[in-house]
Structure formats: structure tokens, C-alpha cells
């Protein structure tokens, strides 16, 4: 699998020398390229990057400079957005079961909240919101695994179309503008069909609302190829079909996270142990959780040598038998000290990292005008900064 733009074996070796491992290395050019492809596919839409995929404010800033708005799920993401220069009116907030205090904070910052319950609507109105959105379950769900399907039967996200109409009425009655109808069907689908169907359904729902909102947000979920030879989602075709289905007088909002950032990044990790058919590296599920959590596949290459090739399982340093980043991969026979690169790790990589086993959070580097450290590696001591011993 090809490395992201402007990243080659030497760049990665240089990053590892200067900043150590494990480190996430992101290509700014690839992020811009994916944004531009999406812009071409959805020329009139508001492209609202879902910050949860990668919240590094430098990456948020880069996307903002390209013209992205921001979807957030927590106060933390709103603050990350502010740090990157997003104004309240450039952000939306769509969360499940947030606390009333957090909702009030977010409203205060001028961010439009998409509520998904009557209780949330009351909290947001009480907090003085003059605009509010409603998240609806469009009855369609899709995703790379059950854990990430958020629409359709049995999903806990979003209200029914009837309740959405009632919540719109409630907002109007309270003198607020119901400015958005929102839906998100799930994450990582690779065919246009489910999102097109959800768009059709959303437009029908809009027809039954007391007022047409300024925005109709069809959510994100656009998948990317993780394996060599996997067909990418045809975003141009998706854009065309969604635009054909979109027959209401509102601004279309698309809200992808993964699509914009996943392919921009490699995780660089160093080999510490080589055994019989298994190699131990310095990144485990504390650094890249997706393989352990979803059985997700990330392509891996040995950047330090090309041959001879053999099959290996790749294990992390966490003291659990399940700590593998990959199984049965053909890679150039590693030696201790070699650098391995895990691909397509820009989405749900760093953001899902933890301090399990008291290993500090990894570093992040941006390749744009040269190599730039955009998040220092946490130190061992920093992990304990909030601990009270007396
Ligand atoms: N909008 C909402 C309301 C969402 O909940 C999500 C993702 C997105 C947009 C963006 O979805 P995307 O375009 O990135 O697929 N940790 C999982 C993915 C969880 C996605 C959760 N919601 C993974 O690593 O695959």
C-alpha cells in the first residue's frame, strides 16, 4: 500500500530519530487532497468535519483553512475547534446523553446543538439558544461493524420522525429557530446506497416538519480502503446521487471524519523483540485500539528492509494476550530496532489511545513544510500530574 503524500521511508526514519516512537505521522497534502475531492463531489454543501476522528487542533486548522466547518461531540471538541480558529457559528454539536451543564456551556459558545431527546431540547432552550437542531433516526443504518452502526432499528441515536416534528414545533413555540435536521447512519460504509437512501428519507421527513430548516445534515460514515486492492468509495458518484435525492430547499451538510483524515497518517513503531513468527513492537492497543476493538485491519510494512519476507503476528507491549495490531502479515523479516509503519491510522487512531499499563500518550508529527511536531510525546511523569498523594 502506498504511503501518504510527502511521506517516504527516509522521512519516517528521520521522524523516529528526532521524536522517537510510537508516533503518528500525518501528511498535510493528503488531508487537503481528500477535502478537495469531497468539495468537488459536493460543491454546494457545508462540509462539516467530524472532529472525533482526529482532534489535533493543527489538523482542524488545516481543514478550516480549506473551508471546512466542524461537527463536535463534547465540550473538549468544541474547545479544540476554538483553538483551531473555528467560531461558534462554524461548529455544530451532536452528542448522546450530554450533561445539562455541558449543553449550557456549548450553547453559550454559540454552537448549534442537535438534540436527540425532548429533555435535551428543554435544556438547550433554557440555556437561551436561539437556534437548535434535531437528530432523527432515518431508519437506515450501515457501517464496517455492528459497533459503529448508529441508525436503523434498535439504534439509540436520534428521535423518530414524528418526534422530530414535535420538537420542531416546540422550538418554534419557544421563539427559537429549528435550524437543522440531522442524521448519522453509521461509520465506514463503502457503497453510496445507504447514504442515498437516508438522504431520500430525510427529505421526506423535512416535508412533514412545520418549517424547513436551514440545514439538512446527512451525517458522515464514508469509508476508506484499508487493504491493498480494496475498491475506494466513489465519492463523485456518491455526491451526484445524494444531490439527485436532495429535493428540499435547505443547505446540504455532509459530516465525514474518517474520509478526510484516515489515509493521511502512518503510525511508526519500533521493533523491540523478535520471536518465532511473532514480533513485538512499542505500540499496542494503548496506541492503536482499532485492531483489538473491531478486529480492524491496518496494512503494515517494514520500513527498514525489503527482504526476505516472512509471515508474522505483530504484538504490542500490553500485558494481555489480546494485544495484537496484526496477525499473519507478510513483512520483511524484522530485526530489533527496525521501524514498522501501520497505514491508514489518521482516523480514530491517536484519539482512541489510552494510558493503559501507564504508558504515556504518543507523539504526533505533521509533514507539510518539513517535519513538524504537533503534539509532544507525553512524559512518564505527566501521566500522574493530577494525582494527590497527601
Ligand atoms: N457524525 C456523527 C454524529 C458521528 O457519530 C460520527 C462518527 C461521524 C459524523 C463521523 O463518522 P465517520 O465519517 O468518521 O465514519 N471508532 C470507530 C468509528 C466510530 C464513529 C462514531 N461516529 C472506528 O474506529 O472505526
Which residues sit opposite 93 in a β-bridge?
Answer: 72, 113
**Is residue 39 scored above 90 in pLDDT?**
yes
pLDDT of residue 151: 87
pLDDT of residue 286: 98
**Is residue 153 scored above 90 in pLDDT?**
no
Q: Which of 150, 220, 344, 348 to mutate to test the pocket of ligand 1 (most atoms within 8 A of CB)?
A: 220
Pocket of ligand 1 (CB under 6 A): 50, 52-53, 71, 94, 148, 150, 184, 187-188, 219-222, 255-259, 290, 294, 347-348
| SS3 call for 281 | strand
The mean predicted confidence, pLDDT, of the chain is 97
Q: CA of 113: how far to CAs of 84, 89, 198, in Å?
A: 19, 11, 21
Across 286-306, average pLDDT: 97
pLDDT of residue 204: 97
**Is residue 1 scored above 90 in pLDDT?**
no
Gap between the Cα atoms of 241 and 160, Å rounded: 25
Which pLDDT band, with edges at 50, 70 and 90, does 247 fall under? Answer: very high
Per-residue pLDDT tens digits for 107-144? 999 999 999 999 999 999 999 999 999 999 999 888 88
**Is residue 318 scored above 90 in pLDDT?**
yes
Gap between the Cα atoms of 25 and 4, Å rounded: 9
Burial class (CB in 10 A: 0-12, 13-18, 19+), 298: buried
Gap between the Cα atoms of 251 and 73, Å rounded: 21
Choice among 97, 319, 387, 389 that is catalytic: 319
pTM: 0.97
Q: Which CATH superfamily does the domain covering 9-24+263-384 fall into?
A: Lyase, Ornithine Decarboxylase; Chain A, domain 1 (2.40.37.10)
CA 186 to ligand 1 centroid distance, Å: 7
| 150 vs 273, higher pLDDT | 273
CA 311 to ligand 1 centroid distance, Å: 32
**Is residue 341 scored above 90 in pLDDT?**
yes
Per-residue pLDDT tens digits for 273-292? 999 999 999 999 999 999 99
Q: CA of 85: how far to CAs of 64, 80, 106, 112, 371, in Å?
A: 8, 9, 16, 17, 22
Across 80-92, average pLDDT: 98
Which pLDDT band, with edges at 50, 70 and 90, does 146 fall under? Answer: confident
Across 171-184, average pLDDT: 98
Gap between the Cα atoms of 346 and 261, Å rounded: 5
Domain range annotation of the chain: 9-24+263-384, 29-258
CA 376 to ligand 1 centroid distance, Å: 26
pLDDT of residue 152: 87
**Is residue 154 scored above 90 in pLDDT?**
no
Under 8 Å between Cβ of 234 and 225: no
pLDDT of residue 155: 86
Nine-digit cell at 351? 484519539
Gap between the Cα atoms of 24 and 4, Å rounded: 12
Across 182-200, average pLDDT: 96
203 is catalytic: no
Across 34-40, average pLDDT: 98
Q: Where are the alpha helices (DSSP H) in 109-227?
A: 118-126, 161-173, 193-207
pLDDT of residue 80: 98
Under 8 Å between Cβ of 104 and 138: no
**Is residue 342 scored above 90 in pLDDT?**
yes
**Is residue 187 scored above 90 in pLDDT?**
yes
pLDDT of residue 145: 87
Q: Do domains 9-24+263-384 and 29-258 have the same CATH topology?
A: no
pLDDT of residue 329: 98
CA-wise closest residue to 375 among 77, 7, 12, 23 = 23
Q: Which option is the CATH number for 29-258: 3.40.50.620, 3.40.309.10, 3.20.20.10, 3.40.640.10?
A: 3.20.20.10
Amino acid at each position: 500500500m502506498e504511503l501518504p503524500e510527502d511521506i517516504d521511508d527516509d522521512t519516517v526514519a528521520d521522524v523516529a530519530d528526532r521524536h522517537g516512537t510510537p508516533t503518528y505521522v500525518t501528511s498535510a497534502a493528503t488531508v487537503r487532497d481528500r477535502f478537495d475531492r469531497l468539495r468537488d463531489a459536493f460543491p454546494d454543501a457545508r462540509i462539516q468535519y467530524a472532529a472525533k476522528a482526529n482532534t489535533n487542533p493543527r489538523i482542524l486548522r488545516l481543514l478550516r483553512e480549506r473551508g471546512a466547518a466542524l461537527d463536535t461531540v463534547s465540550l473538549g471538541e468544541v474547545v479544540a475547534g476554538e483553538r483551531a480558529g473555528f467560531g461558534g457559528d462554524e461548529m455544530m454539536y451532536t452528542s448522546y446523553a450530554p450533561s445539562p451543564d455541558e449543553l449550557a456551556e456549548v450553547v453559550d459558545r454559540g454552537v448549534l446543538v442537535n438534540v436527540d431527546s425532548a429533555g435535551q431540547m428543554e435544556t438547550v432552550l433554557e440555556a437561551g439558544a436561539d437556534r437548535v437542531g434535531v437528530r432523527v433516526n432515518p431508519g437506515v443504518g450501515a457501517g464496517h461493524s455492528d459497533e459503529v452502526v448508529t441508525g436503523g432499528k434498535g439504534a439509540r441515536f436520534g428521535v423518530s420522525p414524528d418526534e422530530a416534528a414535535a420538537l420542531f414545533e416546540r422550538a418554534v413555540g419557544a421563539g427559537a429557530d429549528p435550524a437543522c435536521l440531522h442524521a448519522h447512519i453509521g461509520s465506514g460504509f463503502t457503497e453510496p446506497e445507504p447514504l442515498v437512501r437516508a438522504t431520500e428519507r430525510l427529505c421526506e421527513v423535512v416535508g412533514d416538519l412545520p418549517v424547513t430548516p436551514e440545514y439538512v445534515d446527512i451525517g458522515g460514515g464514508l469509508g476508506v480502503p484499508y487493504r491493498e486492492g480494496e475498491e475506494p468509495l466513489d465519492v463523485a458518484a456518491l455526491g451526484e446521487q445524494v444531490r439527485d435525492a436532495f429535493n428540499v430547499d435547505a443547505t446540504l451538510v455532509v459530516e465525514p471524519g474518517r474520509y478526510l483524515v484516515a489515509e493521511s497518517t502512518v503510525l511508526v513503531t519500533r521493533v523491540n523483540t523478535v520471536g518465532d513468527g511473532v514480533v513485538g513492537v512499542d505500540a499496542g492497543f494503548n496506541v492503536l485500539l482499532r485492531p483489538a476493538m473491531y478486529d480492524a485491519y491496518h496494512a503494515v510494512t517494514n520500513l527498514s528492509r525489503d527482504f526476505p519476507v516472512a509471515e508474522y503476528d505483530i504484538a504490542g507491549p500490553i500485558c494481555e494476550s489480546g494485544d495484537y495490531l496484526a496477525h499473519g502479515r507478510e513483512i520483511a523479516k524484522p530485526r530489533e530496532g527496525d521501524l514498522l509503519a501501520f497505514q491508514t491510522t489518521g482516523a480514530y487512531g491517536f484519539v482512541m489511545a489510552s494510558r493503559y499499563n501507564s504508558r504515556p500518550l504518543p507523539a504526533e508529527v505533521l509533514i507539510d513544510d518539513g517535519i513538524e511536531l504537533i503534539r509532544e510525546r507525553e512524559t512518564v511523569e505527566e501521566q500522574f500530574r493530577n494525582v494527590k498523594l497527601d
